[in-house]
Amino acid sequence: MDQPIIADGAVLVQSGVIVAIGTAREILDSHRDPEVINLGDAVLLPGLVNAHTHLELSNCVAGEDPGGSFSDWILSVRARMKLNESDPASTIIPATQSGIDQCLKFGVTCVGDISNFVTLTRGVLKESPLRAVSFGEVLGLGKLRSRLEERLAAAIDTSQTTNRLTIGITPHAPYTVDLEGYQKCIAAAHNHHLPLATHLAETPDETEFLVSHQGPFRELWDKLGLWQEPVKTYHDSPLRFADAVGLLRFPSVLAHVNYCSDDELDLLAKGRASVVYCPRTHRYFRHQPHRWREMLEREINVAIGTGSCASSPDLNLVDDLRLMHRNVPEFPCERLWQLATVGGARALGLDHQIGTITAGKHADLAAFQVNEDQPLREVLEGDKTPIAVWCDGELVSR
């Protein structure tokens, strides 16, 4: 992903780490009797990075459309996931495992996972080969403000971390966390050196709620019976709000950013945050065209995510790239694949470990069978799934 394709190439792996890359002949001539795995006519890529998903919702069925407004869809998610309130583990653990299995099947070896049930989802991730940044979701507005500290403590609990599982914090969104709550989350991320993510500018209703606490999101709070004054308003847009609380000065992961002005793009370009575009989820909610190409032109880091199975057919990240390719066929295929590898790794703060096939990085790899001389385009224009996937050099799907 950081150099041209190597024809008849090979990757040498030892103890889960990439040791050398080059042509097969170069590798065989310079290393004594390696075990050889011949993939035949295939393209070998870095493992893909799904920078924004919700594994615990993997047993949901999105359907053809949200079935109403965005707020209506939020209300329906619990029903879609069929949560057993008295025994959440019976729902969350199998759903998370299902999501992990999907990721590996589709060539995704790393995820940025948002979780309401971090003690459960992290337990499943800990035992899986999937690499993950597990962002514990924090809510803190209205009557939920009283539980913010409890949710934050769960988010920053490092007891389940491994060499493949990193923890992070997600103040959910500007319509569920107030300014003070965001500031507490950002301070905790600074103090504990943890990554930070949030949902931002996902719908135009966010601005109305920030400015006046009216509109569909206020109606949602009232339906849930969780609204409680006082809640401070904010005089401007979600991106201005994010800048005011310090999110843009932090290497944050901003999920969606579906609605932003030219001035706000410039504001993003001056900061350190990455944007995660979720193409099929974006289409599901019929949002206006996303400005991801303009973001790239301004050198904003853009990564790709699926969102959850409550808003996407599955967790096949390549199908999100395929949608982008169909929508903008003139955009270079190589650059699209970089968004799902290099861009995702950078967004999650893991670009020193994964994202490219580079000596010294983890051997997270995915191979697709190809027949033509433009393999990256061929995979995007077909329906292929990987013929083999490795995490830390271990074959995890074939």
Q: What is the pLDDT of residue 8?
A: 94
The yes-or-no verdict on residue 373 having pLDDT over 90 is no
Q: What is the mean pLDDT of residues 132-155?
A: 96
* CB 12, CB 366: distance < 8 Å: no
Residues 6+ apart with CB under 8 A from 229: none
* CB 257, CB 298: distance < 8 Å: no
Q: What is the pLDDT of residue 32?
A: 86
Give the C-alpha separation, 209 to 263, whole Å: 21
* CB 208, CB 183: distance < 8 Å: no
Q: Indicate the pLDDT class of residue 68, thresholds 50, 70 and 90.
A: confident
Q: What is the mean pLDDT of residues 194-217?
A: 96
Q: What is the mean pLDDT of residues 192-198?
A: 97
Fold classified for 47-355: TIM Barrel (3.20.20)
Name beta bridge partners: 198: 254
The tens digit of pLDDT for each residue in 275-285 reads 999 999 999 99
Q: What is the mean pLDDT of residues 1-17?
A: 95
The yes-or-no verdict on residue 11 having pLDDT over 90 is yes
Q: What is the mean pLDDT of residues 230-251?
A: 94
DSSP 354: S
Q: What is the pLDDT of residue 78?
A: 81
Angle at 58 between CA 56 and CA 64, to 5 degrees: 135
Q: Indicate the pLDDT class of residue 395, thresholds 50, 70 and 90.
A: very high
Give the C-alpha separation, 294 to 166, whole Å: 31
Give the C-alpha separation, 278 to 260, whole Å: 16
Q: What is the pLDDT of residue 33?
A: 87
Q: What is the pLDDT of residue 43?
A: 97
Q: What is the mean pLDDT of residues 61-82?
A: 89
| Average pLDDT over the chain, rounded to an integer | 96
Q: What is the pLDDT of residue 372?
A: 84
Give the C-alpha separation, 213 to 144, whole Å: 16
- Say how many C-beta atoms besides its own lie within 10 A of residue 212's C-beta: 11
Give the C-alpha separation, 346 to 88, whole Å: 33
Q: Indicate the pLDDT class of residue 127, thresholds 50, 70 and 90.
A: very high
The yes-or-no verdict on residue 173 having pLDDT over 90 is yes
Q: What is the mean pLDDT of residues 17-41?
A: 94
Q: What is the mean pLDDT of residues 104-109?
A: 98
Q: Indicate the pLDDT class of residue 121, thresholds 50, 70 and 90.
A: very high
The yes-or-no verdict on residue 131 having pLDDT over 90 is yes
Q: What is the pLDDT of residue 397?
A: 92
pTM exceeding the 0.95 threshold for the entire prediction = yes
Query: By C-alpha distance, which of 281, 283, 335, 331 is closest to 305?
Result: 281
Q: Residue ranges per domain, the chain? A: 47-355
The yes-or-no verdict on residue 67 having pLDDT over 90 is no
How far does CA 38 lie from the centroid of its chain? 32
Give the C-alpha separation, 352 to 154, whole Å: 27
To the nearest 10°, the Cα dihedral for 149, 199, 156, 158? 160
Q: What is the pLDDT of residue 79?
A: 83
The tens digit of pLDDT for each residue in 309-318 reads 999 999 999 9
